[in-house]
Amino acid sequence: MPSNEQPEWPSEDTDVSSGESSADGGATAQLPVPGKVSLPESPTLFVPAERDAEKTQFIPAAKPDAESTQVIDLRQVPEQETEPHQVPRPQPQQSAEPAQSRPQPAQSAQQPQQPAQQQPAEPAQSLPQPAPNQEPSQPVPPAAVPPVQPMRIEPSGEIHPAEATTGEEKPPAEPEPEPKRRRKGVLISSIVALVLVVAVGAALATPYVSNRLGLPWAPNLPKGDSPEPVPVALSLKAPSASAPEPTSSGVSSALAGPAANAALGTLTGAVIDPATGELLWDRNSGQFRTPASTTKLLTTSAALLAMDPGTQLSTKVVQGSSPDTAVIVAGGDITLSSLPAGQQSVYAGAAHLDDLVAQVKQASGGTIKKVQIDTSIWTGAQTAPGWAPDDAPIYTAAMTPVMLDGGLTDPTNDHSVRVAQPANTVLQTFAQRLGATASGQATAPQDAKVLGEVKSAPLSELIAHALEASDNTLADAIGRMTAVATGADASFAGAAQATLSVLSQNGFDVSQVKLSDNSGLSPQNSVPAKLLAQVLAVAAGPDGKDPRTAKLRPMLAGLPVAGGSGTLADRYEAPNSRSGKGWVRAKTGTLSGVHTLAGVVLDEDGRVLVFALMSDGADQDPARAALDVVAASLRGCGCR
């Protein structure tokens, strides 16, 4: 074959002459060889014949790189008289022309092989014939044929890559390297552990942590043994009876500047020494002014003088006119809680409606189908003379003798608005929880069977809340309690008159005093500062000196603390009033243009002083601040 022509690979030439036959049809055994080799014209390559036990065909797979070309160590042919030709080591050379066609895949081993067709003989150079009895030779494919990876065709028809061999023994496989992902995970875990150790060490090194844990290197670690704990008995120090007595001139000197502040508008007031009853400072204290919420001092004083401080208000449910009817009998408790047992509304110690429902269910055996309500204990209008149309439900509630949470829409927020019809809300809620139908107003039968009863907190606790939170609804309810206790009409007018009557009966001058309600929400109320100071002086007087003192003393516990509680919690923060913080306890009062403050203060000598201040015609914020300075000045003076 001429050197410039290349046969297709696998070759379709046959190694069998026209007079011979072979079991494999005479097809040339295919052998992978390196690409781009130059063949000498005369040498002939001999390969052993294909074994019958395992017939393997190799199909070209891919052309290897030039650098991967290896010298093939061919097996020797059997010994013959003539010396077999050896395959010379091929030298790389450029192919004369590219391959004419791509290699074709071999046929499956399960299919019978077709005899290779003879190509027409070419007149060019022919290869020398092998010696007698020698294996047929196979021409080496030209360089243009792409090298292939041998593939072994199994009888099942599945193709598996066959490992190329060089005639040398394959070295043992090296152990597979550790997966990169695992190595990466170990590395990350090590880094995280190191960071955690460093972070914990840094945290333990900080003074705060080491001090809290008591570590040996803590800067605040005690240098010696900790001392044994010593019991401490906490007690309130009573005002000293031997403290220097304040003088009128001393008080006047201390209040000269603060009381002259123009921010106070028209100021009236009084300062009394409760130990002696002496009036130490007087600024038109007999003039009548609108007291605003300091009216509550008169309301609560009359209630304590008229009733025992442990008095409780009752709410009952009795049998109605038929066995399946129950009647709620209102008793004046406006603090009845709608919250479940264990939850507390703004009224500490309040009874729970659920408790009343449970009692009625048990007593009636679940036969109640209709519920009515009796509110006849109170009479008259539900709003007081002088109230603005929006005072109820914003600043108070329409007064009915039973309410849930004082009529508050939010039982835990004493600044939330109140419901429009508190008694009807009680009726509807009770009936719903009982599984009955609300059926309006009714009068409870005389001597009816009691199905359930709950009671309010004691009067002393109700008074404390009314004063500290300046609760208008509760204050008017307490006034109605006084009216009921004294046999007066439990209306706004009757409660106001009962309050003044009790005070008058106990030696206080209430002539010309006017009250339209017991909360101070009405601007029609008219009270002199002297009366407020006198009531407080009796409450703060020495024990045993005045029989009224023991009754009125609980009132002092409800007074807000300057900078600490109630309506004074956010006051006394200014530099010129800060000295009174924690030492002044007083009831506040505010209406449009009206600002009042009345209470007690312990001066620096340990002497208790009582004061009542009423400002009229002033702006709210400046007037409040100026009143705080006046009270704080009493704390800072020895007043001698």
Residue 455 annotated as catalytic: no
Instruction: Please tell me which residue in 296, 316, 530, 581 is annotated as part of the active site.
Output: 296
Task: Tell whether the torsion through CA atoms of 599, 605, 607 and 613 is positive or negative.
Answer: negative
Alpha-carbon gap, residue 559 to 597, rounded angstroms: 11
Find out whether 383 and 295 touch, Cβ atoms under 8 Å: no
Residue 530 annotated as catalytic: no
Nearest partner of 290 among 75, 66, 522, judged by Cα: 522
Peptide bond into 393 cis (omega under 30): yes
Instruction: Please tell me which residue in 137, 293, 345, 577 is annotated as part of the active site.
Output: 293
Find out whether 270 and 259 touch, Cβ atoms under 8 Å: no
Nearest partner of 301 among 26, 583, 565, 549, judged by Cα: 549
Could you please report the per-residue DSSP string of 484-538?
HHHT--SSHHHHHHHHHHHHHHTT---TT-B-S-SSS--TT-BEEHHHHHHHHHH
Could you please report the per-residue DSSP string of 607-631?
-EEEEEEEEES--HHHHHHHHHHHH
Alpha-carbon gap, residue 505 to 493, rounded angstroms: 18
Give the CB-side neighbour count of residue 507, counting CA atoms within 13 A: 9
Peptide bond into 10 cis (omega under 30): yes
Q: Which element (helix H / strand E) includes 189?
A: helix 180-205
Instruction: Please tell me which residue in 470, 491, 519, 633 is annotated as part of the active site.
Output: 470
**Separation in Å, CA 550 to CA 303, 554, 562:** 13, 8, 24
Residue 223 annotated as catalytic: no
Active site residues: 293, 296, 470
